[in-house]
A and B are shown apart, each in its own frame.
Chain A
Amino acid sequence: MKSLSLLLAIFILPSLASAKGKVWQQNFKIEFDNKKMKHTYSLLEKKGKIPTYVLQWKDKGKIKRSQKIRDWQASQLLAKVRRLQWQSLYRNPASMDKCTPYIKVSTLKKVATICLEKKRLAGRSEALLYHLSHYFD
């Protein structure tokens, strides 16, 4: 049980902490930061008997809009984000000479930086950003 707790802490503790305190837990965060803008999209979850999900859009750290979404929307969005993240983290070439950051994708315990040089991923990221932005139309 000792090792269980230790290992699970890496994966699950953030969600446990939020479950106890009924505070918002961040399931994913996508940061787009160029010379002009700094936009962040986050999926937040409030645990409970019926969990609540909110997709939040921030501009330069300030909340611009928050959109309540359904559990299946949250789950499908999270799956899309993780797919992008795994693709970036585990299918990149061993080394890249240069990385011009396009977006940064964070889930509970992992952070992936998508580089413009990886055009396939950058294209996927762009599609995802468009998709997320339409939640705030």
Chain B
Amino acid sequence: MRIGLIVAISISFLFSSSSFAATCQLCAFEIPDFAKEMGSSDICSDLFGAACKDVKGREKLKGQLDAMTDEGKNAVDQARDAAAQKLGFKNADEGALETLKKAGFNVRTDKPIDFVKDLYQESDPAEMNRIFSEAKDCSEDVVNLGKDNFEMTTTDTLQLQSYYQKADAVLQKQREVYKKFLAKDVEFFFNESVVGVCSQLVEGGKQRFPKEQNSKAYEVCNNLKKIESEAIQLYRKEGTPEYDQLAKAFVDRYHVQKLQVAKKEDMPANQKLVADIEFTKGFLGFLCNKLNGALKNSSQKLVQNYYEKLAKSKPVVESLIDNTYSPERHQLLKAMATSAKSHLKSIVSENFKDQSLAKKITNSYDNVEFLWMSKPAAHMYKKEGGLDVLDEYKVPVNSETTAFFNQDLDYFSEMNAVYKTSDSVGLQKNPNRVALNPAMIRMSDFNPFTVYFVLSHEMGHHMSPGIASVNGMDTRKELSGLFKCLSGRDSVRLTPKQWSEATADYFAAEVLAKELAMMPQEKRKSALKASMEFLCLANQDADGQLHQLFCREAHPANPFRASGIVGANPRLRKTIGCDGESPNYKGCAINPDNKFTGAADPKQPKTEKPAVEDEGAVH
């Protein structure tokens, strides 16, 4: 019985190990030039310096990340232009401009690109003067009123009255303009204007704002809940033919012109007039600011809707998919993903002390998919304003296709990759999966080495403690020695928050050790430098273009990742021919005693030949 069990286990290992066999994926590729150049350091002491810095210590790839993300942005721009042309516009920006003009905005800029960028970002409301005639007129009115040759000390009541009437007429004119733009967005009007006035009223109290002088404000604020309900009903009618008229009436009904402060009763008539003039002039400036805010908000809302429609339109979807997801790239990257998985299975089998866990992990790797975006089926589109657009209820939840619902289409310009755990939404079930963003996919054309490293990193996440636990596996015990080693002052001083990323980097280094071992010895060092390109690029990303939205600080610093985790990896060092440990970082590994000397190891199946041992065989 006992013998039978041993035989069964051996067979199982035999089968599993043979299924882990990987052919060399990187052997056929040319080393990129930057990786052939000398670096600021020797690769065996400082991989980051060797790969990322030139002999003078300058970043070798400075500015290249921007160029790569710009390529993605250009693809997005071109795709949007194609969609806008379907709508009859010259390009996407001109379409945005025309959309605003049609909605009643007086646009005065002749630079549509600047203009759209300004509108989407938060910007100083004073900037609106450059863009909209309404904003410019208002600020000119403020200046003109100030220019009038007028002495506040005059005792001429008629002159004071005339001036007050003039100022008040200007104020009324601008107030109507302001109301016009408030009516374009009742949600903004209610929250900004109505609630804003009521806040002031409550804060100032009836002593500052007497009821007699502020009857409308008190009436509005006493009915705030009812007005909110009305606003919501109206908001739901947005886009209907009757909306504009209803919204205008709503704003007329509930817009409080200004809160009147209590005046001193014993103030002489002329002094009261002077106070009113001062207040009106001051209030006009305040109103212009408010108008700028309303212009910004309402135009931004329109621009956002317009760009959302373009982003999910068929021309954009198909153009961006065609731009990146070619069958050739798919073939290459799928093979790389399979290769990385295969190496990872071997690594786990060879090094995990708990072999039942190892088996569970290697089996579960079969359920980690490499995600590839394909064109949505025709039934996923619907007609919307002259364009075929993705129907949000027909596109699968959590698929990469949802990236088309972000008006900025960030997914298509960012340099990144992800591991996603399996999830289930309604009837739809998604497996564990690894995806490369389009910019990363395109990078495979000129540096497959670094894409292989990134893919291996993402595949390695399958064993990160948090992700493994979601998949019903506990890797903490197996990895505890690695984390302890990496946390040391002689290593990268890893913090617990960085465990997940360090796990992925570590396994990517182990994968590289196996993959590079299949390459000619003289090519291995430069291939390793080439594989670090992503870390070189991401390191110089001072302005945050690299998307680490949800994982900031979860990654150790890139020099630590390259030199301290990858470059100090004992098995990788041996593969590329570095003698002994790194002088700067301790060599950390799971099962560090497993030296793969070729000596018979009772834990290992005899049929399994570690890749490091295969060095000679490759030549």
Contacts and interface: CB of A to CB of B under 8 A. Distances in A.
A120 B123 CA distance: 25
B202 A76 contact: no
B296 interface: yes
A106 to B, nearest CB: 14
Contacts of A117: 397, 425-426
Interface in B377-393: 390, 392
Interface in B468-512: 470, 500
Interface string A1-37: 1011101101110011001000000000000101111
A10 B236 contact: no
12 contacts: A4-B221, A19-B203, A36-B467, A79-B191, A91-B235, A119-B395, A120-B308, A122-B402, A126-B406, A126-B410, A129-B549, A130-B410
A98 B425 contact: yes
Contact of A123 (B185, B201, B297, B406): B406
Interface stretch (B77-85, B89-97, B360-368, B550-558): B550-558
B224 A11 contact: yes
Chain B interface size band reads 35 or more
* 6 nearest CB pairs, A to B: A123-B405, A137-B544, A119-B392, A123-B406, A76-B122, A73-B122
Interface in A62-114: 64, 70, 72-73, 75-77, 79-80, 82-83, 86, 90-91, 97-98, 100
Contacts of B141: none
Interface in B304-326: 304, 308, 311-312
Given A100-B425, A127-B406, A72 B392 contact: no
Chain B interface SS verdict (over half): helix
Nearest to A80: B300
Interface stretch (B192-200, B241-249, B268-276, B332-340): B192-200
Given A36-B500, A119-B405, A130-B408, A72 B124 contact: yes
A54 interface: no
Residue from A119, A123, A136 with most neighbouring chain B CB atoms (10 Å): A119
A127 B224 contact: no
Contacts of B398: 116
B425 A82 contact: no
Residue from A64, A72, A73 with most neighbouring chain B CB atoms (10 Å): A72
Interface of A: 1, 3-5, 7-8, 10-12, 15-16, 19, 32, 34-37, 39, 59, 64, 70, 72-73, 75-77, 79-80, 82-83, 86, 90-91, 97-98, 100, 116-120, 122-124, 126-127, 129-130, 133-134, 136-137
Contacts of B301: 83
Contacts of A124: 304, 308, 405-407
B402 A7 contact: no
Nearest to B411: A126
A8 B199 CA distance: 8
B285 interface: no
B48 interface: no
Nearest to A133: B549
Interface string B407-430: 110100000000001010110000
A91 to B, nearest CB: 7
A124 B232 CA distance: 20
B531 to A, nearest CB: 26
Given A90-B232, A90-B236, A137 B543 contact: yes
B225 interface: yes
Interface string B216-244: 00100111110000001001100000000
Nearest to B227: A7
A64 B406 contact: no
A8 B198 contact: yes
B392 A76 contact: no
B205 to A, nearest CB: 10
Nearest to B199: A12
B466 interface: yes
Interface of B: 122-125, 185, 187-188, 191-192, 195, 198-199, 201-203, 206, 218, 221-225, 232, 235-236, 293, 296-297, 300-301, 304, 308, 311-312, 390, 392, 395, 397-398, 402-408, 410, 421, 423, 425-426, 466-467, 470, 500, 543-544, 547, 549-553
A32 B550 CA distance: 9
Given A118-B392, A120-B392, A12 B198 contact: yes
Nearest to B394: A119
Contact of B202 (A12, A75, A123): A12
Contacts of B123: 72, 76
B308 A123 contact: yes
A36 B466 contact: yes
B222 A7 contact: yes
A123 B312 CA distance: 10
Residue from A7, A80, A118 with most neighbouring chain B CB atoms (10 Å): A7
B550 A39 contact: yes
Given A86-B235, A90-B236, A136-B552, A16 B124 contact: no
A100 B224 CA distance: 33
Nearest to A36: B466
A8 B403 CA distance: 41
Contacts of A76: 122-123, 293, 296-297, 300
Nearest to A91: B236
A119 B191 CA distance: 25
Given A120-B308, A127-B407, 20 more contacts: A4-B202, A8-B221, A10-B225, A11-B195, A12-B199, A35-B421, A59-B553, A70-B124, A79-B192, A86-B235, A100-B397, A100-B423, A118-B392, A123-B308, A123-B311, A123-B402, A127-B408, A129-B549, A134-B544, A136-B552
B195 A12 contact: yes
A79 B222 contact: no
A127 B410 contact: yes
Residue from A32, A70, A97, A123 with most neighbouring chain B CB atoms (10 Å): A123
A7 B296 contact: no
A70 B125 CA distance: 11
Contacts of A16: 199, 202-203
Given A4-B221, A130-B410, A130-B547, A120 B202 contact: no
B405 A130 contact: no
A111 to B, nearest CB: 15
B222 A86 contact: no
A11 B195 CA distance: 7
A34 B123 CA distance: 32
A19 to B, nearest CB: 6
A57 B188 CA distance: 25
B180 to A, nearest CB: 18
Nearest to A108: B195
B405 A122 contact: yes
B306 to A, nearest CB: 14
